[in-house]
Amino acid sequence: MTEQKRKEKKWSLLYCPGEDARDTAIRNLAKETGLSSILSTLLYTRGYRTASEVQGFFRQEAACLHDPFLLSDIVPAVERIALALERGERIAIYGDYDVDGVTSVSLLYLYLKSRGADVGYYIPSRMREGYGLSKPAIDRLKERGVELMITVDTGITAIEEVAYAKSLGIEIVVTDHHECREELPKACAVVNPHRADDRYPFKELAGVGVVFKLVCAFEMTQCRKAGFSEMEGVERICREYADLVAIGTVADVMPVVDENRLIIAFGLKLLENTKRPGLRALMDAASGNRNEHTKYPKKRKINSSFIGFTIAPRMNAAGRVSNASIAVELLLAEQEREAVALAEQLCELNLTRQVEENRISELAYQKIDQTFDPKNDRVIVIDDDTWQQGIIGIVSSRITEKYGLPSILISFDGATNGVPTQSDVGKGSGRSIKGMNLVEALIDSEDLLVRFGGHELAAGLSIQRSNIDAFRRKINAYAASCLSEEALSVSLDADYEVQMQDLTMTLAREISAMEPFGASNPIPNLILRDLHIVRVIPLAGGKHTKLILEKDGTEMVGLWFGTTPTQMPFEVGNLVDVLFQLNINEFQNTVSLQLIIQDIHFSESYVQEYLRHAERYEEIRAGAEYTEEEQVLPCRDDIAVVYTALRREYRMGHSVFPLRRLLSMLHVQGARELNYIKLKFIIRIMQELQICGITETSEDVYVFEFRYQPTKTNIEKSSILRKLKTQLRKID
């Protein structure tokens, strides 16, 4: 698997100038909207081709939301809930344990409570009960006197469980957003935009998005009965609950387009000055400001990244390593003290999750290196008895991102009774890549699975230990039929290639106006070519890297998160192309631009020059003449500079050097006249004269070993040097 790790990421440039019709359309779009050429291009390539579509992209009004009554079964769902309120029936909300499920439960609970409902909620334990409806859970709800159950973010495949509940006298309204099978549960209402008979124009709602539409429909119905405007009801629901919908939608990585974009935008505005004690406490705790409850708290800049990387992981940690009800209680909390305690508990659980995630990741990478066959397999399937089930999904995401392949991790933690047996049932979590719908792949292996469900790119499953080998073979055979070599290459989309003069505060602000960002509306990736690396600076104890980059006399700061200076295959002086996101940095009342680096390649001109020098070196080594201008012939001082530099590095424990790194190091020290060809001959001369031990381990990678009491060496004794002198072309 080592070869896969080193594979360079391909950059796929979404816009290249030169198509006359498209370029004319972009110019017209810029003229009609008054937007810059670059912003117009970014929007055009994302499918916003007309002025009205662009205006719709930036327009953020509740009136733009789709009619919830277009959802199949929405009317019987509203009517059954209204009947439960009228009769005073006990209602249970049954949800999932991830952030989408937690926010779904919280939204519906808060709304029904505001309507005077006798309502409670139930979220199964991930470790003890697993995903979805179960008969034991239904029995417990029956004992509590529940007469109506509303599922949120789950239930679409629970055919047997819904029938069982009905046999006990519990009616069920199913709301879900996962892929549907041909047969639907026999519930009194099944609300899911993925139903085959559904007319709803936007299919990519999160589970909490479906709950939001249900609540909108209920509120609209009540407004209509009371003689008020239906839109007033929708606007009230947005003002009250859009923050919860935004958190769940972003956390579930749903496309940030169409209706999701509107809802998230509404929610982000609410979050900046949230009135929920729980969310305020969680954001303070995550920022290290646990005591920051002043009269005038610092205003936060909340965007979808803040949700995805700060709020969501902490809320998710509850369901992963403890109980998801902790996150629900945080969202329902009314008292500041209770909210602070719950927020701190979630932060501690998140730290526990991080430790366990790193442990599982290391074990998983070892298993991949030992067992995975990259030549024949296209899906990574690994299992273990000790992996915590709540963590394997995020580790699967890590693996898929790292290797560019679908992955499925299966845990038998808690499934064994002392001694592992072939009948043990493990729970798995998988992530996929574009080109392979994971649910369809699991349907192909359905005969080997106990149960499964999910989305195109993420799914869960249960499987007996005895079937794992057969499942691994079958899903890899399926992947071979649908995943091309092109799909398997690790690729990064780039939106636009800019010049240094394009990088202005105006452009950065235009790009920020495209928020909220997320799936299907990512932060634009830009390319800037032929930058010199001026400085390399470690950050956060070496976990990240700060680069000072220069082109055309202008310097720019680049931050490469998650890449250490030692991992970076580039050196000061290298000429590179950078894939980045343009960012505004505000620090100590100073505003500046910075590049958030996504990837770096050696520039094409650098690579071509390197290859040209390598080719020329081989020609001269074979006996070709060269000119004095080529600076091939080394002198004693040249060799002394290389020897001194290498010996100094050796004393510091550095003995292995790729030629590129050695060249960069020497250039930084002022030896600009040492080019690739001259340095290669110097290394050969030092090797020939045994000035130090030199071993070439691979092409242009050398290991050096030094004696600490060297004797003086006459370089004129070198046959390589003498031969080089004879090849120098004399000019008459």
- Residue-wise pLDDT for 304-352, tens only, equals 999 999 999 999 999 988 999 999 999 999 999 999 999 999 999 999 9
Backbone φ, ψ for residue 411 (5° rounding): -115, 135
Take residue 181 and report the two structure tokens written for it: 């099978």
Residue 157 pLDDT more than 70?
Answer: yes
What is the pLDDT, as a whole number, of residue 491?
Answer: 82
**Could you tell me which residues are beta bridge partners of residue 658?**
701
Element (H, E) at 534: strand 526-539
What is the pLDDT, as a whole number, of residue 13?
Answer: 95
Q: DSSP 3-state assignment of 724? A: helix
Decide if domain 372-489 falls under CATH 3.30.70.260.
no
Residue 5 pLDDT more than 50?
Answer: no
Residues 6+ apart with CB under 8 A from 436: 379, 406, 478, 479, 482, 483, 487
CATH of range 64-239; options 3.40.50.2000, 1.10.10.10, 3.90.1640.30, 3.40.50.10070 = 3.90.1640.30
Pairing of strands 701-705, 458-464: unpaired
End-to-end Cα spacing for the chain: 58
**Could you tell me which residues are beta bridge partners of residue 556?**
549
Q: Domain 606-727 carries which CATH code? A: 1.10.10
Mean pLDDT over 224-234 rounds to 93
Report pTM: 0.83
Percent of the residues in the chain that have a pLDDT greater than 70, as a whole number? 95
Residue 1 pLDDT more than 70?
Answer: no
Q: pLDDT tens across 269-292, in order?
A: 999 999 999 999 999 999 876 554
Q: Identify which has the larger pLDDT, 414 or 309.
A: 309
Residue from 578, 628, 620 nearest 603 by CA: 578
Q: pLDDT tens across 56-73, in order?
A: 899 888 888 999 999 999
What is the pLDDT, as a whole number, of residue 293?
Answer: 45
Average per-residue pLDDT for the chain = 91
User: Is the CB of residue 524 less than 8 Å from the CB of residue 495?
Assistant: yes
Residue 415 pLDDT more than 80?
Answer: no
What is the pLDDT, as a whole number, of residue 295?
Answer: 42
Tell me where in the chain the CATH 2.40.50.460 domain(s) lie. Answer: 2-59+493-602
Lowest mean pLDDT among 25-39, 100-114, 672-686: 672-686
Tell me where in the chain the CATH 1.10.10 domain(s) lie. Answer: 606-727
Look at the domain 2-59+493-602 and name its fold: OB fold (Dihydrolipoamide Acetyltransferase, E2P) (2.40.50)
Element (H, E) at 452: strand 451-454
Q: pLDDT tens across 458-506, in order?
A: 999 999 999 999 999 999 999 999 887 776 777 899 999 999 999 999 9
What is the pLDDT, as a whole number, of residue 418?
Answer: 66
Tell me where in the chain the CATH 3.90.1640.30 domain(s) lie. Answer: 64-239
Element (H, E) at 13: strand 10-13
What is the pLDDT, as a whole number, of residue 671?
Answer: 65
What is the pLDDT, as a whole number, of residue 4?
Answer: 42
What is the pLDDT, as a whole number, of residue 588?
Answer: 78
What is the pLDDT, as a whole number, of residue 33?
Answer: 95
Tell me where in the chain the CATH 3.10.310.30 domain(s) lie. Answer: 372-489
Mean pLDDT over 506-518 rounds to 95
Mean pLDDT over 160-182 rounds to 95
